[in-house]
Amino acid sequence: MQMPDDIRNLRTNTLKELREGRDAALFSLGASRALGVPVGFARYEAADYDFVLTARIGDVQHFSPIQLKEWVPPDLNPEQTDVPPKKRTRG
């Protein structure tokens, strides 16, 4: 199915909530795999964060506010993308 890149990548104002929800879900999945426990999230945008992760580790329920930063791909806006220098390897 062919569709414009901005829609396929959820890059329109009307699709912003869906993109942010997808980002939160993917972050939660990565955290779950890294911690080895189920990790949930609640989309709650406040002053300094975009959503809250929660996980039960042992007998303690943890909550972590998360603020995502986006690295703009150069094909979307080459002037905003600041590519870090490549790591030098010894050898």
Return the pLDDT at 17.
82
CB 33 within 8 A of CB 25: no
Threshold 0.85, pTM exceeds: no
Query: What is the residue-level pLDDT of the chain in tens, covering all 91 positions?
Result: 677 676 666 667 787 888 888 889 999 999 999 999 999 999 876 678 889 999 999 999 999 999 888 777 777 677 765 555 555 555 5
| Within-domain flag for 12 | yes
Residue 15 lies in a domain: yes
Enclosing H/E stretch for 51: strand 51-57
pLDDT of residue 56: 96
Cα–Cα distance, 11 to 35 (Å, whole number): 30
Q: How many residues does the chain have?
A: 91
**Would 62 be classed as within a structural domain?**
yes
**Structural domain boundaries, residue 31:** 5-66
Count how many domains the chain has: 1
What are the beta bridge partners of residue 62? 55
Does residue 72 fall inside a structural domain? no
